[in-house]
Amino acid sequence: MPDPIRTLTLSEWEDRLARLYERDDRLDVRRDGERYAPDEAVDAYALSAHAEALQSAEVDGDLWGTLADIEEEAASDEEAWAKICDFYLGRGCALLRVTGGDEPEEWIFEESLARRLGLLD
């Protein structure tokens, strides 16, 4: 099984986001020569609707709500995120880390979605 953890720089992350579009609640990668409506653009907020869990400076990932959803408890934010990562990675999801920002930026996606979007290639 390939490594389910991928690290991107902040500029790589921004480039990947700019290449995505959302149509009819489906995310996909833009293709050269195709036309896309302005409302199909994807930013971090739109992408968050497709993530299993996240911690981001730009988007509220509701750390404690996610922890409650998986029926876990923690004493700190760090412990909570570690338990969330363990839960989702143990179920075949992929973790995407973004480096170079002021705050931690980590996103968890279902692995096939992450691969289709080019986030793990």
Residue-wise pLDDT tens digits, 37-58 = 999 999 999 999 999 999 998 8
Could you tell me which of 2, 3, 13 has the C-alpha nearest to residue 98?
A: 13
Tell me which residues of the chain have a pLDDT lower than 70: 1-2, 121
Could you tell me which of 1, 23, 34, 9 has the C-alpha nearest to residue 99?
A: 9
Distance of CA 88 to the CA centre of its chain: 12
Q: So what's the pLDDT on residue 2?
A: 67
Most distant pair of Cα atoms in the chain: their distance = 51
pTM: 0.92
Distance of CA 40 to the CA centre of its chain: 18
pLDDT-above-70 percentage for the chain: 98
Structure tokens, 86: 């363990």
Q: So what's the pLDDT on residue 119?
A: 80
- In the block, tokens 């968050």 appear at 48
